[in-house]
Chains A and B, each alone.
Chain A
Amino acid sequence: MKPLRLPPVLTAPGIRRLGLADVAILCLLGGAIAALVAFAREFEAPFRQAVQIDLRPSALPRYTLYSLARGVIALAISYLFALGFGWAAAKSRAAERVLLPMLDILQSIPVLGFLPGLVLGLMSLFPTRNIGLELAAILMIFTAQAWNLALSFYNSLKTLPDALRDACKVAGWRASRTFWQLEVPAAAQGLVWNGMLSMAGGWFFLMVNEAFRLGDRDFRLPGVGSYMSVALDQGNVPAMALAMLAMVAMIVSVDQLVWRPLVVWVEKFRLDETSGGEGGAPTSWVLEFLRHARLPRRAALLQRRAYRTARRAARPFERPLAIAGPVILRGPRFALGHPVARWVGGALLALGVALAAALGAWQIWLLLRHLGARDWGALLGSAALTFGRVMGAVILSTAWALPAGVLIGRSPRIARLLQPVIQVVASFPAPMLFPLVVLAFQRAGVGLGLGAVALMVLAGQWYILFNVISAVAAIPEQLKDAANAFQLPRLARWRSLYLPAAFPALVTGWVTAAGGAWNGSIVAEYIEAGGTLRTTPGLGSLISDATARANFPLLAGGIVLMSLIVVGWNRFVWRALAGWAQTRFGMAQ
């Protein structure tokens, strides 16, 4: 049986101990919320007619390309962010202490809640054009893509063998060359696999990003997401089906044309030499085609020549720079090297962060002050409801995804067959299905109170499935042989081999799935389908409702509360569980 290459198990977010840095970051975040809201209120943008969405099928390819372009631009920004962020966190211990908790928190808070403030703020910067709205949409996609990329790059940098770094230093490589020729290639595998996941994650809020209402204003961007939402508004079933088809077509073609070739290509950058060998590595027909084609090779040659010419042309400028550089840098270098200067600098930095955090806390307090006891009561009550739904969704997802994941993961043949299919299905933005699911539930007589749980399952289940598949597929062959040799009965085999082996990855899946479910609650508890609005009490619908009614204090309160619950739960419950799972069931010996 050929070995199978599967994506690595996701790194668990939020399993760090709660520290002072977290408090500072939470305060800063509060400040950001308050600032965005204040900004939006200050500069009330003039009301503009929303873009008219054309529901004819001929318009759909254009819309799909618009949406794709947003995703790609956001991904490019995410990659830049990941490289900078990961590098800073891996190189400087001080940066690491602030950046890592920040990453944890940013990836576990409900980003969707920030959309209204962001849109209003950016709209007021560019009042006459759609640029503000476009920027807001791209930023929202970015927030769904960036964090796991940054974490992946950081992890690769941290696990790079010292000898390789030393070899580059001894060769006299500058930091920039080491970065592009050692550090980035070494991280390439993780960056590509995570890029694939990020792209899928970025589609999740496609519909909301492209079309949403704030108070009496209707914000709309041309795209397949807004196409779908208009089709839903009008109850136009053929248009809905077309939009979904377009979405699937886009996901499949991006997978085949971009990700498959990339995944195959980055095999070259494996650091460990346990290569899949004959046929174990994935294949891509597009990459084969490109490799056999003449034109790309010609282009590469030309590009290399152009690069060389440019380098040669730049040489006269390099020399003075090389001479002047150290002289100019002498001051800063001395300052950084001197212990007193370092201490003062560090103290100033810490003071700055503390001040900004205090300001943030004060600002958010000013906003939250408007909330009365009844508001808080409503907030806490709906938070409890949504919490129950999130846990229900996690349990339901586990109930099907754990057995399914074990079944798929233990058979390389099934895994190879199903993996591409699951990947495409998982990339499909679940909220697009929400209205249909809700209508189906309505027909079956189930209200949104329970229906929302099913929707949140849609939002979180894949993380569990993927993680279980990867973990089970990674069980050492000899352990399976041992189970066969001792003729372990089926039940015992599950109890003593598959489930314990999958457990650490399962916990990681829970963390991510719960995060997805919290995020999903914002769209799952507040749905417009077939022209009617359906809501059910919960924190998600409270946030959506506050957005729709432009009730900023309540919106801020909702976001703050949800962030606190998610971060707190991550830090205290998931963290303990993940630590226990790792020491008890980890494969490392």
Chain B
Amino acid sequence: MTPGPVLLEGRHVTQRFRLPNGQVLEALRDVSLSVCEHEVVALVGPSGCGKSTLLRLFAGLARPAEGTVEYRGRPLDGVLGAAAMVFQSFALLPWFTVTENVAMGLEARGVDGAVRRDAVARAINLVGLDGFEQAYPKELSGGMKQRVGFARALAVAPEILLMDEPFGALDPLTAENLRSQVVDLWRDQSTGVNTLVVVTHSVEEAVFLAGRIVVFGSHPGHVREVLVNPIPYPRQERTPEFEAMVDRLHAVLTATLLPEPAPAAPQRLIPFPRVHVSEVTGLLDHLLTRPDGKGHVFELAEDLGVDYDRMTAVVRGAEQLGWVTTPGEIVQLTLAGREVMAMADSARKDAARARLKKHPLFGRIIAMLTENEGAVEDEEVLADITIYFPFIPAESLFQTIVEWGRYAELLDHDAAAERLMLAEAVEGTSDVRAD
């Protein structure tokens, strides 16, 4: 099917949220994207890149702070009637039966009586849930629940089907099965669905489903690149062209997620990724088992059973500590990394401490603490972080700092008094500000 005229279009869309702690977070900045008839568009990118936000804007569930969203050239006013939505958490009403859940959208569209019964029966039949009409969601498995979610969306015969990580909460087997059924449903003219927009975390899923893959970057969310995927449907996962497309997408994502460090600004403050100590050492451990201590970032993600988003965060953490380097998509254990893994626990902590002291962000916080006799209120640190990293939720970055600071015995935190302190070992050491 060739893409037709433009159905949905976001023009220069910017969206902001206020976090409970008062911080205003920009989720999307100046995003322009159009979706055409007979098209499948996948939105991929790291978490917090605003792809789900854009999907909600397309559905008319929220209004953009700036810019417009148009359907067939007319600005959206309220929820888009031509679209239906499938949610990662299924979003079924527990007190409704399968039939009642599937019928949710029909009444408001003026479908009544026998026509409604037919539409519900047809939708239930399409997703293969016959026999479960009177069941309640809690009696169904995850995969079957999501089938109800699809049936509910299909029952209204929507022009556009918006899907927010629809297979994210399912086990891999169920997800694969449901995924190919979605493609069948889309290709089947009788369902009325002719356009799909899917938010996904999985590279394979994006390549399997989409004709166009939009890669988002984060902090704040923006469109990095748009890939056209010309593989004809139905697609087979193990073909060379499929693999080639996956590799291309990997390359684009790596460039987004693991950008080459800018050489001009070595002292620029960079946020430390939200990763745990054990994740970084786990990665190094795994790299040690590989020939030459290196691996492709997406292979590593697969081996370790985490998604690429998480994997790249861990890699960035290890990179900031100087324990790996990332030439392109390759993650390479450095000499320092090998040394660290050969050390005993306490020596490893010392090595981490030496590295973190040189890290611009930790260095700044240590300097701040030293100036204030070794202790600062949480609020002050949070305010400082917010100024430097307005696009990152400050609370979670703060927690990461505390965790790493504690691990390296650099920092200590009093949760009751809400104060961040220098750990006793570092107090009075002169090399803190020397670097």
Contacts and interface: CB of A to CB of B under 8 A. Distances in A.
B147 to A, nearest CB: 15
B105 A275 contact: no
B94 A169 contact: no
A166 B91 contact: yes
Interface in A155-201: 161, 163-164, 166-174, 177, 181-182, 185
A181 B104 CA distance: 10
Contact of A173 (B61, B84, B108): B108
Contacts of A580: 416
Interface in A506-547: none
Interface string B49-69: 000000010010100000000
Contacts of B91: 161, 163-164, 166-167
A168 B101 CA distance: 10
Contacts of A168: 104
B81 interface: yes
A270 B415 CA distance: 34
B85 A271 contact: no
B94 A166 contact: no
A583 interface: yes
Interface residues of A, number: 25
B416 A171 contact: no
Contacts of B93: 164, 167, 181-182, 185
A583 to B, nearest CB: 6
B59 A171 contact: no
B83 interface: yes
B95 A170 contact: no
B108 A166 contact: no
Task: Give the one of B88, B104, B156 with max A CB within 10 A.
Answer: B104
Contacts, number: 63
A167 B94 contact: no
Contacts of A275: 138
Contact of B87 (A167, A172, A181, A182): A167
Given A172-B81, A181-B93, A583-B415, A166 B105 contact: no
A273 B169 CA distance: 15
A269 B104 CA distance: 17
A452 B79 CA distance: 61
Nearest to A275: B138
B89 interface: yes
Contact of A170 (B61, B89, B90, B94): B61
A275 B138 CA distance: 9
B109 interface: yes
A480 interface: no
Contacts of B416: 580, 583-584
A170 B138 contact: no
B88 to A, nearest CB: 8
Interface in A557-589: 580, 583-584
Contacts of A166: 56, 59, 61, 85, 87, 91
Interface string A249-291: 0000000000000000000111101010000000000000000
A172 B109 contact: yes
B104 A173 contact: yes
Contacts of B152: 167, 171
Contacts of B88: 163
Nearest to A93: B18
A269 B94 contact: yes
A578 to B, nearest CB: 14
Contacts of A167: 85, 87, 91-93, 104, 152
Nearest to A174: B108
A169 B79 CA distance: 7
Contacts of A163: 87-91
Contacts of A273: 94, 138
A56 B91 CA distance: 59
A170 B85 contact: yes
Nearest to B83: A170
B91 to A, nearest CB: 4
Given A170-B59, A584-B416, A271 B94 contact: yes
A318 to B, nearest CB: 11
Interface-centre pick from A168, A171, A174 (highest chain B CB count, 10 A): A171
A177 B107 CA distance: 11
Given A163-B91, A268-B95, A271-B94, A170 B415 contact: no
B383 to A, nearest CB: 19
Interface string A24-38: 000000000000000
Interface string B15-44: 000000000000000000000000000000
Contacts of B105: 170-172
Contacts of B415: 583
A273 B294 CA distance: 44
Given A172-B81, A275-B138, A580-B416, A270 B94 contact: yes
Contact of A172 (B92, B94, B108, B138): B108
A171 B88 CA distance: 16
A436 B314 CA distance: 71
A185 B95 contact: yes
A245 to B, nearest CB: 40
B308 to A, nearest CB: 24
Contact of B61 (A169, A174, A177): A169
A512 to B, nearest CB: 25
Contacts of B85: 166-167, 170
Contacts of B95: 185, 268-269
**Listed residue (A163, A173, A181, A273) with the most chain B CB atoms within 10 angstroms of its CB:** A163
A173 B156 CA distance: 13
Contacts of A181: 93
B65 to A, nearest CB: 13
Given A163-B88, A182-B93, 15 more contacts: A161-B91, A166-B61, A166-B85, A166-B91, A169-B79, A170-B59, A170-B79, A170-B84, A170-B85, A172-B108, A173-B104, A173-B108, A177-B108, A181-B93, A269-B95
Interface of A: 161, 163-164, 166-174, 177, 181-182, 185, 268-271, 273, 275, 580, 583-584
11 contacts: A163-B87, A166-B56, A166-B59, A167-B87, A167-B93, A170-B59, A170-B105, A172-B79, A173-B108, A185-B93, A269-B94
- Rank and list the top 5 A-B pairs by shortest CB-CB distance, nearest first: A172-B108, A171-B105, A163-B91, A167-B91, A171-B104
